[in-house]
Amino acid sequence: PAGICPFKMVLLGESAVGKSSLVLRFVEGKFHEYEVSTIGGAYLTQTVSIGDITVKLELWDTAGREKYHSLAPMYYRGAHAAIVVYDITNADTFSRAKVWVKELQHQAASNIIIALAGNKVDLATTTRQVEVADAQTYAEENGLIFMETSAKTSMNVNDIFMAIARKLPKL
């Protein structure tokens, strides 16, 4: 219908950090304790309202496993926004997230909005490996939206998607 602007948003990050879980929580309000690892990529949409503007978010959930990395440019090409996800309990996934950010900064649209999600914050008290201050500093240096999230408890899940939606250009 008239007045609905579609925006392309891509999720990137190491396998098992919770990309599909964040999308499932945002779109359907659900969480699976044993989510299936994504093959190739998955596509879902969610419509959100910002003031009196309705925005259709086209969500491209990529597969994190190494053998699918060559497909990533197909998903982030033309994207208006990206969420790069890492798992706060796994420092390697934070390093990998930084590589994705660099790739987006060089290969994606120059005005792409990038958000960094430190997921699985529900596990922070027992198994945290990435300090929130380190991620915060990195995000500020690179002009990224940053939040720690939990697809399990839903903490900050709507908030990170909405923070991006609010920054999208309004047509």
Q: Which of 9, 10, 12, 21 binds ligand GTP (CB under 6 A)?
A: 21
| Residue 138 neighbours by CB under 8 Å, 6+ apart | 98, 116, 144
CB of 51 to ligand GTP, least distance (A): 29
Which tokens belong to 25? 């929580």
Q: Does 118 bind ligand GTP (CB under 6 A)?
A: no
| Residue 21 binds Mg ion (CB under 5 A) | no
Residue 20 contacts Mg ion per CB under 5 A: yes
Residue 163 falls in which region: left (phi positive, over 0), alpha (psi -120 to 50) or beta: alpha
With contacts defined by CB under 6 A, name the span among 30-38, 91-99, 105-113, 134-142 that binds ligand GTP.
30-38
107 binds ligand GTP (CB under 6 A): no
CA atoms within 13 A on the CB side of 21: 27
DSSP 11-40: EE-STTSSHHHHHHHHHHS---TTPPPPSS
How far is Cα of residue 93 from the mean position of the Cα atoms in its chain?
Answer: 13
35 interacts with ligand GTP by CB under 6 A: yes
Q: Tell me the closest approach of the beta carbon of residue 97 to ligand GTP, in angstroms.
A: 11
144: left (phi over 0), alpha (psi -120 to 50) or beta: beta
**Is 10 one of the binding residues for ligand GTP (CB under 6 A)?**
no
Pick the closer one to ligand GTP by CB: 117 or 139: 117
114 within 8 A of 82, measured Cβ to Cβ: yes
CB-wise, 6 or 40, nearer to ligand GTP?
40
For the bound state, the minimum distance from the C-beta of residue 151 to Mg ion, rounded and expressed in Å, comes to: 11
The torsion angles phi and psi of 153, rounded to 5 degrees, stand at: -95, -10
Site of interaction with ligand GTP (CB under 6 A): 13, 15-21, 32-35, 37-38, 63-65, 119-120, 122-123, 150-152
